[in-house]
Amino acid sequence: MSVSELKLEIINKVTAISDEQVLEDIVRLLNQESDLANIYKLTDEERIAIQEGLQDVIDGNIHTSESAEKMLEDLLRK
């Protein structure tokens, strides 16, 4: 079913509803969907950085919290 067909089906079904509570629930659901559309979208650079980080984990290029703290301490002493 195409997007246009789905929209028409929804319109037809909603138009046939007379129960106010059901209509309010539909509006609430649609508002939640709108809120979800405002979720942060990653830039291409952010996606690449995440992919590189995941690849580092796969390749074993990771540090424990303790070793990372030690590296930071050593860096700050310089």
One domain for residues 7 and 32: yes
Alpha-carbon span 24 to 64, nearest angstrom: 51
Could you tell me the pTM of the whole model?
0.43
User: Residue 73's domain spans which residues?
Assistant: 44-77
One domain for residues 30 and 9: yes
One domain for residues 29 and 9: yes
Place of tokens 């030690």: 70
Number of structural domains (the chain) is: 2
- 6-55 pLDDT, tens digit per residue, is 999 999 999 999 999 999 999 998 888 766 666 778 899 999 999 999 99
Helices (H), the chain: 3-15, 20-37, 44-59, 65-77
Cβ count within 10 A of residue 64: 8
